[in-house]
Structure 1
Amino acid sequence: MNTSERKKNRSIPVNTMANEFGIGISIEKISFTDLPIDDAKQSHRDDGHSFFLLENGTVDIEIDFKRYTIHSSSVIYMHPNQVHRILAFENVTVSSWSINNENLNPDYLNLLEDLTPAKPLALTNETFSVISEAVSLCLKFSERKNDKLYHSLCRDSCNALVALVASQYLEQSTSIDKLSRFETITKAFRKLLERDYTNAKRPAEYAQMLNISTPYLNECVKNTTGYSVSHHIQQRVILEAKRLLFHSDKSVKEIATELGYDDYPYFSRLFTKVTGMTALAFRSKNLD
C-alpha cells in the first residue's frame, strides 16, 4: 500500500464480512491463484469473529505485525480487534465464516476472548475432514434463504463450527480446572486489560477490580508470564498505537488521546521507551 492510498484511511479499515448476508453471519468457500495486489495487501479488521479453514495451498499472513505461513489442513481464528493482511498465497482454497457478538453463543465468546491472540492451528486429517464436512453443510444451509427459520439455521450452524474450532484450540491449552491460582488471576487480569487498557493504566486499578493487593497481582502475573503487570499494560497500549500509526492517518496526538493519554509528551516518551524509536519514526519505517 503506498502512502497516498494509506492517507485515505482516517481509521483502520473494517471488513464487513460478518454482515455479508445482512444478519451478522457469513460463510463462504473461495479458490484463487491470484488476487489484485492492492486487495491482498489491504490491512483491515473484521466486524465479527472470523475463522479461516485452509483446505489447499499456502498463505503468508501478517497479524498485528507478526508473520505466519499457513499450510493446507489448518485453521486460524481472528478476533475483531486484530489487524491482518495477506502477504502472499499460492493455489488457495479456503472456507471462511464470521459471526458477530450478537449471534455468537455467550459461552463461546468467553472462550474466544481467552484464546486471543490465536496462532494458526494444524489439524489432523480426521479433524480436518469433520470440520470440512460441517462447512459444506453450513454452506448449503446458507443458500436456503426462503426457510422460515433461516436466521436461526445460519446462527446455530455457524456456532457449531465455532465450537468445533474452539475445541481444537482448547485441546492445546491448559485445562481451566488445571490452572494454578496464579494462572487463574493472570487470566482474569488479561481479560480486564483487554477491556480497560484505554482507561486503566496503573496496576493498582486492576488489583482493585480483582479484589487483591497490587503486590500479589504482580506476583501472580510475573510468576505466570515472566513480566510485570506494568509491562503488560504498556505492551497492550503500544500494540494499539502501532496499529493506528500504521493503518490510519491519525496524528500521534490524536492516537495518544484515543488511548487515554491527555499528556501527549508522556505518551511519546512511553512509545519510544517500549519500541526503541519515536512514533513518527515507526510510522515512516513501516511505510517504506
Structure 2
Amino acid sequence: MAKRRASIPVNPMANQFGAGIAIEKLLVEKLLPKEKEEAGRPHREDGHSFFLLEKGKVSIEIDFEKYNIKPSSLLYLHPNQVHRITAFENVTVCVWSIRNEHLQPEYLKILEELTPTSPLLLKKDAVSLLSDAVSLGMRLFDRKEDKLYHAAIKDSCNALVALAISQFLGHTTSTQKLSRFETVAKSFRNLLERNYTTDKRPAVYAKKLNISIPYLNECVRHATGFSVSHHIQQRVILEAKRLLSHSDQAIKEIAAELGYDDYPYFSRLFTKVVGKTPVAFRNKNLD
C-alpha cells in the first residue's frame, strides 16, 4: 500500500522548463517502474494541461471517474482535478500545459466553465492541426536566444489552448445564444468555484448576482435540474473526497479547510451526501 501524503502532490509539468509553460511530444513504449509508480500516484498538475493521444493505450482515473482513452482523443485537466494513470503502453502523445498567469484571461474563463470534461474523440483534420501546432511550439522552445522567446512560447501555447477549447465547445455548447436561465446558472457556477470554501448559503450567491434567492434557484434548477444548495454541497463534497482519499490530513483539518468549524455537522453532511461517513470513505479509498 502506497503511503499517503500530507497534501495532494502537484506535478510541476508546466514549469519543467522554468517558464510555467510546456509543449512537447512523448513517444513511450512502456513506463519504467519508477515512472509507473509516480504516474500511478494521485496528483494534480500545476497548470491547465492538455493531452492529445495519437497512438497507444492510456487508462486514467480523474476525480474517481475511470476513462479508457482511445487514439485521436483530446483530454483536458484543470489544475484542481486529481488524477492518476492506471495503464500507459505504446503511447505517442502531444502535451501542452500552461499556468494561470500565462493563460489568456478569456481562455481561463471558458476553461473554468467547461470543467469537468470527458476525453474527446477528434476528427483526423483536427488531430493533424493540433499535432502540427505542437511541432511548431516545440521548435520555438528550442530558440532560447530569440529576443522575444518567452512571448513566442506563451503565444504558441495559448494558440494551442484556443484550438483545444474550440474542439470542446464544438461538442458541448449550442451555437444558439444562452437563455437567461443558462446565463445566470453559468455565473453562479463560476462564483461557486471561487467561493465554495467560504460561502455555503444560496443567499450569498444571490446577493453577489443581484437577484433574489427564488429566482437564482429557478434559473439553476431550470438549467441543470438541481438546486443551488445541491451544487454547493456537491462541490464541497468533491473536494472532501479528494482530500480524504489522497492526503494525510486529519478529518477535522479537512473540515476546517472546507469552511466547517463544526466538525460533527460536516461529518453528518458528508454521510448524507455520500452514504458513508468520512472515516468509512477514507478507509475504502486509501491510495
Deviation at residue 175 of structure 1 after TM alignment: 4.2
- Equivalent residue of 1:193, what SS? helix
- How big is each residue's C-alpha offset from its partner over 1:26-79, in whole Å with a ceiling of 9 and x where there is no partner? 112112222223123111111111111111012111111101111111111111
**1:30 corresponds to 2:26:** yes
- Using the size of structure 1 for normalisation, the TM-score is 0.96
Q: CA deviation at 1:176?
A: 7.1
- 1:110 Cα deviation from its structure 2 partner: 1.0
Instruction: Name the structure 1 match of 2:158.
Output: 159
1:134 maps to 2:130: no
1-side partners of 2:175 and 2:266: how far apart? 36
Residue of structure 1 in register with 2:255 after alignment: 256
Q: Deviations over 1:6-42 (max 9, x none)?
A: 1xx1100001111111111111211222222312311
Name 1:15's counterpart in structure 2: 11
Counterpart of 2:128, as a letter, is: S
Separation in 2, partners of 1:34, 1:40: 12
Structure-2 residue corresponding to 1:106: 105
Provide the rounded CA distance (Å) in 1 between the counterparts of 2:88 and 2:19: 30
Do structure 1's residue 267 and structure 2's residue 263 form an aligned pair?
no
Give the Cα–Cα distance (whole angstroms) in 2 for the partners of residues 240 and 94 of structure 1: 29
Return the alpha-carbon distance in structure 1 between the equivalents of residues 127 and 106 of structure 2: 23
Aligned to 2:221: 222
Corresponding residue number in structure 2 for 1:246:
245
What letter corresponds to residue 11 of structure 2 in structure 1?
Answer: N
1:74-102 Cα offsets, whole Å, 9 max, x none, are: 11111111111101122111111111111
**SS of equivalent residue, structure 1 residue 33:** strand
Moved over 4 A (4+): none
Q: How far apart are the structure 2 equivalents of 1:174 and 1:276?
A: 33
- Aligned-pair RMSD on alpha carbons? 1.2
The one-letter amino acid of 2:69's match is: I
Between Structure 1 and Structure 2, how many residues are aligned?
284
Q: Name stretches of at least 5 consecutive residues in structure 2 with no aligned partner.
A: none
1 CA distance for matches of 2:172 and 2:39? 32
- Structure-1 separation of matches of 2:159 and 2:116: 21
Q: What is the rounded CA distance, in whole Å, between the counterparts of 2:229 and 2:80 in structure 1? A: 21
**2:246/2:286 contact within 8 Å kept:** no
3-state SS of 2:101 partner = coil
**Under a length normalisation based on structure 2, what TM-score does the superposition of the two structures give?**
0.96
Note the 1:1-288 alignment, pairs <5 A: 2-3=1-2, 5-6=3-4, 9-35=5-31, 36=33, 37-175=36-174, 178-287=177-286
Amino acid at match of 2:56: G
